[in-house]
Amino acid sequence: MKKIDYYKFIIPKTDDMRVEGLIFADDVMIKDIKKDNSWKQVANVASLPGIVGRSMAMPDIHYGYGFPIGGVAAFDLEEGVISPGGIGYDINCGVRLLKTNLHISEVTEDDVKKICDSLYKNVPSGVGSSGKINISESELKKVLKDGAKWAVQNGYGCDKDLEYSEENGCFEGADPKTLSKRAITRGRPQLGTLGSGNHFLELQFVGKIFDSDTADQYGLKDGQITLMIHTGSRGLGFQVCDDYLKVMREASSKYNIDLADRQLACAPYKSSRGQRYFSAMKCAANYAWANRQCIMSSVRETLRDIMGKRTEVELLYDVCHNIGKVEEHKGRKLLLHRKGATRAFGPGRKELPDEYVNTGQPVLIPGTMGSSSYVLKGTEKAMGESFGSTCHGAGRTWSRTRAKKSVKGSQLREELRNRKIYVMAKRMKTIAEEAPQAYKDVSRVVNICHNAGLSERVAKLAPAGVVKG
């Protein structure tokens, strides 16, 4: 790798690569990245047909399936490919940030405990968890086509919520016929559920404001209570990815696509297989938007039950982390793969809500359990440097197995409680798996993206209570 400025490292193009690789990092973080084969995955992605610009990775890069987590790649619509490994198993895993009219001074430690305990009860969590929303298969297919619109139409929120999500919470062109019976079966009972792993609900407050003008536009004030929802498409999205990896392996062979790694299995975007996967991915993405919308409705009810009926809960924004999208960049339509990366559109983009057109898109970066999270804004520089993309979180450095061997969940929970952070989880091993030590320093990741100009800091959110799956 060659350092070309303080926050950019180039992987030079070889005979096997169609374009260069580019990693955003600093001198400290690049040392860890070099120890992880994820940088080689950046080079592998650069070998795929139709790739445009550079194969990129954000500072939270770590090893993933096919593409690195933290990877970004754009493809020509005529010559390019679509790859499930470039989007991930948890399709449209994303973050939704809610803002309230409460101040941290109004919320006692006992209130935090009540809120977290109630959220744990009202929003089912954990591996394979089933929700309280019982729908038929025909109704689920409406969810897959309409996304968050279905949730709002069925009483889980209001029309205003839809304005503050990517794609207004619904991908057009999603055809449920492209999903397997297994995917449908897995998705039916899980709507409105949190899941497990790094998914969470977190009660937070605005601890620091970096950009007061943008914070005002986003409706954020010092000390304000917020709540972050982090989850995705659950078992349905996992099944879609698993099903289509088999299809893509056959397609790679059929179209004589030479793969640097078989996990990069893909099909031409315009092929029938490519379009079937894209439609199925849209269905899973719509399910995830509906899922977060239903969870948001439960959060609203919970906060109002505990803190009073006058408690206002509004959506600041909802962003995707694992997604494939057709976007226009420099007058050209491209297929963007973002895997463990966030869209960070700068000012003036027509896709943004009216209130955010002049500031740029809100970018939501969750921290680790016990660390701060961040609200950033998209920039014009990101539009030219990274196809309007930035980081998505801290990025793992330890496996879950190592974390469980190194950290005692009950002890970590007590340490966080001493810091006045209440944690509610189904199992102590879940707390151990998600220990802050298992992740990169989210502040360092955010600072790299800020200094590289991919996204700019607006506010830092401090944790008060966490609900884990």
Q: How far is CA 322 from CA 67, 69, 118, 319, in A?
A: 11, 9, 29, 10
199 flagged as catalytic: no
Tokens of 29: 């973080």
Q: How far is CA 111 from CA 77, 244, 411, 418, in A?
A: 52, 45, 23, 16
Catalytic residue among 199, 230, 392, 450: 392
Residue 170's closest CA among 185, 187, 186, 153? 153
The DSSP secondary-structure symbol of 309 reads T
Amino acid at 268: P
- Exposure letters 240-271 (e unless 16+ CB within 10 A, then b): bbebbbebbbebbeeeebebbbebbbbbbbeb
The DSSP secondary-structure symbol of 251 reads H
The alpha carbons of the chain give a radius of gyration, in whole angstroms, of 21
- Burial label for 277, CB within 10 Å (0-12, 13-18, 19+), is buried
Distance of CA 41 to the CA centre of its chain: 20
Amino acid at 354: D
**Distance separating alpha carbons of residues 97 and 356, to the nearest angstrom:** 15
Dihedral sign for Cα 382, 385, 386, 392, please.
Answer: negative
Catalytic residues: 392
